[in-house]
Structure formats: C-alpha cells, structure tokens
Amino acid sequence: MRSTPRWRPPLSEPLTLFDRIWRSHVVASLEGGADLVAIDRIFLHERTGAAALNALAAAGRKVADPARVFAVTDHIVDTRPGRTDQTLMPGGQAFIAETRAATQAAGIRLFDVNDPDQGIVHVISPELGIVLPGATLIAPDSHTCTQGAFGALAWGIGSSEAEHAMATGTLRLKKPGTMRVTFSGTLPALVTPKDMALALIARYGAGGGAGHAVEFAGDAVRALGMEGRMTLCNMATEFSAMTGMIVPDEKTFAWLEGRRYAPAGPAWDAALAHWRTLISDAGARFDREIEIDAGTLAPMISWGTSPEHAVGIDQCVPEDAPQRALDYIGLEKGTSLRGIRIDAAFIGSCTNSRLSDLRQAAALLRGKLVADGVKAICVPGSSRVKREAEAEGLDRVFVEAGFEWRESGCSMCFYAGGESFGHGARVASTTNRNFESRQGPNVKTHIASPATVAASALAGCLADPREIT
Amino acid sequence: MAQPLSQITSLPLPLLRDNVDTDQIIPSREMKSTGKTGLAGGLFAGWRYIGTSGREPDPAFVLNNPRYAQSEVILAGRNFGCGSSREHAVWALAEFGFRAILAESFAPIFAGNCVRNGIVPIVLEADAIAAISVSDAPVTIRLDEQDVTSADGQRWTFAIDAEAKAMLRHGLDAIDLTLQQAQRIAEWQGCDRAARPWIYLEETA
Ligand code: SF4
C-alpha cells in the first residue's frame, strides 16, 4: 500500500555559494549571533607570520594541525638576482630568520627564499593546490581574497585571528551580507580584469563592499581564465569587501588537477563530485546586487591616493577630486591623464604578476624600447611563473625592451624601508594600492593593468594601450 | 590581553579624513621587529614627522597639537583603517594610548583587530561626527549603555556585536573562549573528515 506522507521536507531554500560554504563550516552558533567557523587552510608570510607564531608559543599554545598551515618568504625578501637572506630593508633578515625558526619549531611547511616553489603567497597557494573550491582559507594579509577565484572562502585577517585559527582550527565570526557583482557582456580588447576591478571601485567607492562577501558573476567573469579571475578577486579588499569569490567551473577544476597539494586519484574524483555542487542557486537571494556592462569599460588609471580615484585612461582628473589627494599626487582638476610623464613602471604584485599578465605586457613591449629615463621593473609573482616565462622567452622581451627582470616576491609593491623608486617619483604600477607613500616616500602611484603600464613605459607617460601599434 | 573597558571620557582627536589606511597609521618602514611592541613612536609617522627618516614633529599634524596630548579617542571619517591587514596599526594605536575610535565606517579587518586589542570601534552617523567635531569638547563613551554623550548633553547610541562587546568589556581572550568548545570542534572535524577527506593533509613540513 502506498502511503501519502503527511509531511514533506520543504524544498531546500536556494543558497548562494557563500552561504553553502559558510553553513558547511559552522561548528557551533555562539551567543550574540556569531558563528564558530572551521578553517581549512592558513597561510603565513614572513612579514607577520613569526609574530603570530611567537605570540602563540609565548602563551604556551600549540598549532592544532600544522599540516594545514603553510608559510612563505615573499614580502621582505630581496628580488634582485642572486639573492640571499640579505635584504635592503634594515632588519629584514631578522624577519626571515625568525620565520624560519618559528615555522620549523611548529612543524609548518615554509617555502623559503630559494625554494623552487617560493613566490607571493596568493600566487603560490593556487599553484600548489593549497586553496581548493569550497575550502575556508585565511592569511594575515588583506589580499587573501585573491584566492576566492577558486570558489573558496578566502580572506585576510589580523595576527590575533591567525593565532586563534592556528590554536583552535576555527574563527569566531559574524556572518557578513552577500553581494553579487554581475559583469555582463564582453570585455573589449586590451580591457582587462584589473580594469573591471578599478571601474567597480571607482563607481561604487572604496567602501562600497563593506560588510559583504562579494560574488563576481556574469558572462564577462565566466569568460575569464583563472588568472584573470584572481586579478578581479584580488581587489575585493580595495572595495572593503570581506572577500571576492567566483563559482568554480570546469576551468577551475582543470587548473587545479595535478597540483601538489590538490587531491589525487580516487580522492580527486570524490572532491570533484563535491565541488560541482558549489554553485549559487538560480533563485538565491543576495543582500545587494550590482550590474556592470563589461562591454562599456575602458582601460582604467588611478589619478589619486585611493583606488576609488580612477577613471578611463582617455579621461581627465575629475572636477570633484579632493584637494588633499591632488596635493599629494601633484595634479590639477581637469588635467588629461594621458600624457602625464612618469619616472618608473612596475609590473608585478599579487594583482598582476602571473604568466598571462606578463604575456600581455610582453606582447606590447616586443621589439620596442622603454622611454629614456623610465626605470622599468618586472617582478614575476612566483618562481614558477618566472621559470615558465623564461621558457617562453618573455624574460628576453622584457630585458631587451629595457626592463629589469627580477626574482619573485612582493618587491616594490610596498615600501618597507628598503628599495624604492626615489623620493617623489611618479610610477605606473600594476599593483593594487595607490596610497600615499605606499611604494616609497612620496612616491606617486598610478595603478593600471599590465597592458596600460607597458604602454606607459614605452611612451614615458601615462598612455592608452589601445593606441600602441 | 587587553584591559577590561567600560567607560572612557576624553577630548577626541579630530582626524577627519576619509580612507585613512593602515600604511598611514603605521608605515611599513616603522615595523622594525617581529614583536607587537615598540610601535607607538611610528604611529602616523608619515604625517607626524617632518621628512621621512627623522623624528622632528610636524606642528601641522593634529597628533602634535598639545591640546590633544591626552586624547584617548580618535574622531575619524569614512572607511578608517582600510588597506593592509597589519595588526601593527592597532598595536601602535593601543600602545600610544587610544582606546576608542569614532568613525563613519571602518574597514572590516581593522575593526576586528581593534576589538582584540582593547580599542572600541564605534560607527556614528556623519552628522554626529560633525557635531562632536564642531563642539571640540570631551565626550563620554559607555560600553554597557552603548552610547556616546557630549558635554552639552547630546547623546548618540551605537551598535556593537554582543561578542565584541563582551570581549572588550571583560578583556576576554578569544582563544580561551573557543578552547572551551574543544570537544565540539573535534566532533565536527570527525564528521568533516569523513565527508571531505581531501581537506586533511598529512605532515607537510
Ligand atoms: S604583492 Fe603587494 S599587495 Fe600583494 S601580498 Fe605582496 S605586498 Fe601585499
């Protein structure tokens, strides 16, 4: 006899990718509305890692599962060829030595100065298959959101939270809101994921994503390769979002297969089956939605001291620009950005230092020369990227054009007291922050894509890559 | 661990700029050791001193104004503490003696770092910030009541997570709190290991 059930479970409510990952990691709900959230991966770097590990040890606490904690020397380590532990930053060696000692004592895998897998934390974590779809990954570094490109929940934290996560395998967190940023249409030629990020922040403000985890969606996002997706997610923190993330797809899985710490064999198949469920359901509700037509975007350039101070390269410094920013950057309202003379060009950082970035810049530089008087530097994002670029001959393209070709690391993305471009220098840079003195005392940073920076290096002034022939 | 905190009365130091980032709060070149201390001298170094290497105070910067020498509260604009996640920014503020920041909004990582180091991040509307700035007089912050009152009797309430409030109020250590749930965490991991075995790695060092 067929019985009619009196009660049927409600159709499960539609969920966002973020909600799926969050819910599956809640260990307990805490009083006061926060959750205790399980953390799958922790990545430290030598700038802040030793401080967290030393504080933990001083409190008599242990790292709960050292096999899921990794560390790298990327921030302070020198990037000039033939490097050792010596740094240009005064006292930098101590950070490297202490990180080495502290990770060894805790049983944590360190990708050390001359390890073939060394590189910028957010570049090597995906290369090694350390970040995985559906995983929670944290690092005491604000650009950890880069790794959300793999459908992971990855975000930056402070040192105390790193200590907490290492000691307990969890964090106490208040759930953020959700926001979906949909880029419809198709990106025009020489308009890049960097320009998508800058356009979003310019339009909605550097605080526009505050309190939210952002999912990037839409045809223009789907069309991006994994490296471009990382560039887009990288700048979620410049948008003040907790993180950026993208629903994983076949491109994601293909990119990860065979990576060192990614599952293999039957574990890969099991993981894949799980990862394919990591979607945002059709009816899922986001707390906020933003839509941008990617087809209308232009190469972007920053003119001020916040990432929200950015316009298309063919535009002028806006009339409502704050005076403080103009005083620092040394520009006036109404000045055309194109044609502003630069002293230096920098291609590198966790935003734009992967193979596709270097290829894009090299395509413009091939057979040409950097303008006289422009100090031009290219720093691959990882030792692997460097090897792969050299195998393609990209290093020669850069060097023959007049660029320095470096060992990998954060290098002059930020100033730690060592190397800089010179007091007050004006730099076209593929980095993510144009803050006052970020790249050195009084250095004036204009952030842009690798194509725009390469074009500017050739022209000796801010230039539109679409006009390079 | 931070000192318990319930009430602060102080003349707020006005720093009414938007997007004050952690590179400005503590420049990277001022983070000279791997420790958490010795940072107060580098607080706002780029604005506070003349030139980039010396220690000659720039009288134009508000932190050098003797009127605010005893301030324990900062009055700020939008998106305070954006940029790098460096907790050194909060360690430097705490070491210098700041215990609360009133701002229109905060960068999220920075606000979390504040709570863990005994500084109350308080979000107020723009008009409240403006009123406090104009009066340029001491305010009283009460954590239990979740309010800010001015000497002339104006009062604004603020929101704060129950957990953040309890941690600040009692100077609690989050790790100790969480370790009370060690059993629960172990159980969760047992289930998760069965569901997602690939997440658990063997020794890697
Ligand atoms: S490359 Fe720059 S932004 Fe990225 S992690 Fe290094 S210092 Fe930070």
List chain A domain ranges: 15-297, 299-467
Pocket probe mutation, ligand 1, options A76, A120, A138, A437, max atoms within 8 Å of Cβ: A120
B168 CB-contact burial (10 Å; exposed 0-12 / middle 13-18 / buried 19+)? buried
Q: The domain A299-467: what is its CATH number?
A: 3.30.499.10
Could you read off the pLDDT of A342-352 as tens digits, one per residue? 999 999 999 99
Three-class DSSP category at B49:
strand
Residue B188 lies in a domain: no
Mean per-residue pLDDT over chain B, rounded: 93
Q: Which ipTM score applies to this complex?
A: 0.91
Write the CATH number of the domain with boundaries A15-297.
3.30.499.10
In which residue ranges of chain B is pLDDT below 50?
A: none
pLDDT of residue A3: 46
What's residue A408's pLDDT? 97
CB contact under 8 A, B181 and A267: no
Assess whether pLDDT exceeds 80 at residue A469: no
Q: How do beta strands A300-302 and A288-293 pair?
A: unpaired
**Does residue B141 lie in a domain region?**
yes
Taking the CA atoms of A353, A356, A357 and A363 in sequence, report the sign of the dihedral they define: positive
Q: Is residue B193 part of a domain?
A: no
pLDDT of residue A11: 58
Residue A236 sits at the chain B interface (C-beta within 8 Å): no
Mode of pairing for the β-strands spanning A444-447 and A426-429: parallel
Q: Residue B196: enclosing H or E segment and its boundaries?
A: none
Contact state of A98 with B34 under an 8 Å Cβ cutoff: yes
Residue B46 lies inside a defined structural domain of this protein:
yes
**Residue numbers in A near B82 (CB within 8 A):** 206-207, 240
Amino acid at B148: V
- pLDDT > 70: percent of chain A: 98
At A42, the pLDDT band (50, 70, 90 cuts) reads: very high
User: A15-297 and A299-467 share one CATH topology?
Assistant: yes
In tens, the pLDDT along A264-296 reads: 999 999 999 999 999 999 999 999 999 999 999
* Nearest residue in B to A129, CA atom: B199
User: Is residue B27 domain-resident?
Assistant: yes
Q: Which domain, by its residues, includes B11?
A: 7-173
Quickly count helices (H) and strands (E) in chain B: 8, 8
Work out the pLDDT band at A6, boundaries 50, 70, 90: low
Is the residue at B18 inside a domain?
yes
The CB-based long-range contact list for A113-116 (8 Å cut-off, 24+ gap) reads A113/A73, A113/A77, A113/A83, A113/A84, A113/A85, A114/A83, A115/A383, A116/A383, A116/A384, A116/A387
pTM: 0.92
CATH number at residue B49: 3.20.19.10
A166 pLDDT more than 90: yes
User: Is B137 domain-assigned?
Assistant: yes
With CB atoms and an 8 Å threshold, state whether A94 touches B181. no
Q: Does position A462 have pLDDT exceeding 80, yes or no?
A: yes
Ligand 1 atom closest to the Cα of residue A413 is 2
Q: Please report the pLDDT score of residue B29 as a whole number.
A: 87
With respect to residue B189, please indicate whether it lies within any of the assigned structural domains: no
Give the total number of structural domains in chain B: 1
